[in-house]
Amino acid sequence: MPNSSTRCQGTVHNFDRISGRGIIVTDTGREVMVRYSAIQGQGKRDLKPGDRVTLEIEQNGSTETAVHVVRQP
C-alpha cells in the first residue's frame, strides 16, 4: 500500500513500448518511473518523448512510481 500520492504535471523523457516502461520528469524536476498499466485512456495507450502528462506519484519506500497518467492534448 502506498505511503502517499501527489498529483502533478510533467513531460515524458522516454518510454519503451516493448517493455512498457519509461521515465516522466515532473515540472519540479523529479524523475518518476511509469509503466504501461498506469496510462489512462481507451484504445492504444502509448507515450512518446516530449508528451505532456498529468499524473499522480505514489511513494512506496524509496521508489516513486507514476499512476493515473493522462496525456494532455
Give the residue from 7, 70, 13, 11 showing the smallest Cα distance to 42: 70
What is the chain's mean pLDDT, rounded? 90
For residue 10, the domain's CATH number is: 2.40.50.140
The percent of residues in the chain predicted with pLDDT above 70, rounded, is: 92
Report the number of distinct structural domains present in the chain. 1
Quote the domain boundaries for residue 42.
4-71
What pTM did the predictor assign? 0.87
5 against 71, higher pLDDT: 71
Separation between Cα atoms, residue 47 and residue 19, nearest integer Å: 12
Pair 59, 3: CB distance under 8 Å: yes
Pair 35, 45: CB distance under 8 Å: no
Q: Which three cell numbers stand for residue 60?
A: 512506496
